[in-house]
Chain A
């Protein structure tokens, strides 16, 4: 008996741009810390110091900004302390809140500590990396444990969120390095960071593919939710998040490598554009995921 018409009440889109920015900025902070800390642990030379330092500075700033957007989204922001006192371990917001605070403390100390405190910085990096992963995981699980939402509710959602965080984090470091006054002095580290960014983008594309196939071959509601998302946000997702955010940076990176081989010089414009595209794509992806995800 078709067609079917439904009269229903309004179902609001409750999470707006605040949550989009929270996930986007927190993701950058998590990604930059992981990247900076790993670089700091592996390389102990002046060549990589800029990457380590820039990443360490960006991390706490963006995580704090992200947290501010989360708190301003709350109905009662002045009750936010309850997250830290009335702990519910089955809620990712609860334990994720604690992980975020610990990460802010570690990354802030890591950012301000001078280079001669080598051992302390190493200790902070080693302890901070798992905390950053836990924080990223809490942000991923925030969506992927929502059983009511077929777009979010899948294992690949968490993996996709984590790779997204790392890609945008590295992108932010490359952008800051390319824009810095000493960019020409750090050409080598910019080039290496850009290459790592390229690898992260490839992994990101794979996880995105995994997430899409999970939904395409998933149960009825998963397919339907993906269709809804595609019909409302398909263009912005494929053009903005996928083409601008993932494909364009790869094309630009490939072109830059060819150009460098040909001319023997490294131009900062390519990494600069690449990182801008990655960040734009990352933001669009979060926007479509959060706003579009609530449509079904």
Chain B
């Protein structure tokens, strides 16, 4: 009899305790997942809304005091056709903060690294200025800073994000073509826009998984007419 009671109690207790443990673990696990879900910053640019005013380029220049001749963010302009059937396409270009960034792989000192939130940054104190990351970037988004002699590029205005402000190019875009936010949050405006529109990325075949998305992007416009010139800021090329 004693043995049976002990057996029953043990089994009941065991099941009860296991049940409580499992339930609490599930609740805690869910809470944990929700609270620590990693942010993944991204940007979406609606090219239908871009009017090519270059205010993003200028705001970026002033924000970071970027020297002449080099850009963290700029607008590529493509003109197609012959008069009167002509078309002008604006493609704002910046670092794509790729999921698989070739610049991070190539950096010999680890000066270029990817943060947990996906932003690819350069630590100028560790950069030796070998320019290998510049060679590795398929989007030509990097440059050698003429003053600091280190690699430089867009960092999604990290200092502003830390204070809860949007990047300066997003802030200044008069057509509101740019949207910035957390890609992992399904309620964020960027997720909603990406859900409601067909989006593209630049040079998808490179397999770098860029996190700057474009709406209404003409891939051919981006890849054709690439400049081959060395010394002029804006030069028209005729194929």
Contacts and interface: CB of A to CB of B under 8 A. Distances in A.
Interface residues of A, number: 43
A86 B74 contact: no
B65 to A, nearest CB: 17
Given A15-B135, A74-B128, A147-B136, A296 B226 contact: yes
A4 interface: yes
Q: Sort chain B's interface into a size bin.
A: 35 or more
Contacts of A83: 108-109, 128
A142 B230 CA distance: 23
B236 interface: yes
A10 B229 contact: yes
Contact of B127 (A15, A73, A76, A142): A76
Contacts of A156: none
Given A1-B85, A4-B78, A12-B230, A79 B225 contact: no
A74 B129 contact: yes
A80 B149 CA distance: 13
Given A5-B237, A75-B144, A90 B76 contact: no
A74 to B, nearest CB: 5
A229 to B, nearest CB: 11
Given A7-B76, A76-B149, A294-B135, A12 B143 contact: yes
Q: Chain B binding site: helix, strand, loop or mixed by DSSP?
A: loop
Contacts, number: 158
A261 interface: no
Q: Which of B70, B129, B144 has the most CB of A within 10 A?
A: B129
Nearest to A78: B128
A83 B239 CA distance: 43
B107 A76 contact: no
A140 B128 CA distance: 21
B87 A97 contact: no
A15 B139 CA distance: 17
Contacts of B126: 79, 82, 86
Given A90-B105, A91-B107, A94-B108, A10 B230 contact: yes
A46 interface: no
A8 interface: yes
B34 interface: no
Interface string A1-33: 111111111111111000000000000000000
Given A5-B238, A14-B134, A91 B80 contact: no
A148 interface: yes
Contact of B128 (A4, A5, A79, A146): A79
A88 interface: yes
A228 interface: yes
Q: Chain A binding site: helix, strand, loop or mixed by DSSP?
A: loop
Contacts of A2: 80-82, 239
B87 A76 contact: no
A73 B225 CA distance: 30
A80 B126 CA distance: 10
Contacts of A294: 135
A86 B82 CA distance: 54
A93 interface: yes
A295 B228 contact: yes
A147 B77 contact: no
7 tightest A-B CB contacts, nearest first: A75-B129, A75-B149, A6-B225, A93-B108, A148-B138, A1-B81, A7-B77
23 contacts: A1-B81, A2-B239, A4-B221, A6-B76, A7-B79, A8-B234, A10-B229, A11-B140, A14-B131, A14-B144, A15-B131, A75-B128, A76-B128, A77-B128, A79-B127, A83-B109, A93-B106, A94-B108, A147-B102, A147-B136, A148-B102, A148-B135, A148-B138
Given A5-B80, A82-B126, 19 more contacts: A2-B81, A3-B238, A4-B80, A6-B77, A6-B225, A7-B78, A7-B79, A7-B235, A9-B70, A10-B227, A77-B128, A83-B109, A83-B128, A86-B110, A90-B105, A90-B106, A91-B105, A93-B130, A294-B135
